[in-house]
Amino acid sequence: MRIALLNGPNLNLLGVREPAVYGTRTLAEIEASLAQVAGTLGCTLTCVQKNGEGELIDAIHALRGQCDGAIINAGAYSHTSLAIRDAFSSVSVPFVEVHLSNIYAREPERRHSMLAPGAKAVLVGFGAAGYELALRGLVGLIGGARA
């Protein structure tokens, strides 16, 4: 099974950026440990981080026919970008939305997700562990759908 991990704006600064909110692990560390877990699940993992909305949309388009499912933390675009949700529908790639922090316990402008209506599942507030939970859940969902 081929899984893509997509991270959006400012997540390249994980480990440095507001560690009290987002934790101390870097994105490279998170990607490396997720790739290991993916291996134990018999999956390949492709990791992409983009700061621009259009770049993220291009990255999603590039998944067409190349991956079975995706995990995305679109950062602040999660709250605004119907275009990112549309990109996933356009290429028919099932996705799980992840947020390190519990966006529903934060400022009002973070309490709504434009992506969630298109997501297979949403994980918030588990910190970096949320990516692994999302991977395991996504593999189960896709595997179940195939069986």
Q: How far is the CB of 102 from ligand DQA (least distance, A)?
A: 8
| 7 is an interface residue for ligand DQA by CB under 6 A | no
Positions 88 through 127 that interact with ligand DQA (CB under 6 A): 99-101, 103, 110
Which tokens in the block code for residue 67? 């991956």
For the chain, the 3-state helix, strand and coil shares in percent, each to the nearest 5, are 50, 20, 35
Per-residue binding letters, 12-51, with ligand DQA (x by CB under 6 A): ----------------------------------------
Token pair belonging to 113: 């997700």
Q: Which is nearer to ligand DQA, 17 or 136 (CB)?
A: 17
44-49 and 2-7 strand pairing: parallel
Provide DSSP, 3-69.
EEEEE-TTGGGTTTS-HHHH-S--HHHHHHHHHHHHHHTT-EEEEEE-SSHHHHHHHHHTTTTT-SE
* Distance in angstroms (rounded) separating the CA atoms of residues 92 and 104: 28
Whether 22 is catalytic is yes
Binding residue (CB under 6 A) for ligand DQA from 1, 35, 41, 76: 76
61 catalytic, yes or no? no
* Catalytic-labelled residue, pool 77, 79, 99, 104: 99
Among positions 46, 75, 84, 93, the unique one binding ligand DQA when judged by CB under 6 A: 75
Residue 70: what residue type? A
Residues at the contact surface with ligand DQA, assessed by CB under 6 A: 10, 73, 75-76, 78, 99-101, 103, 110
Catalytic residue numbers, as ranges: 22, 99
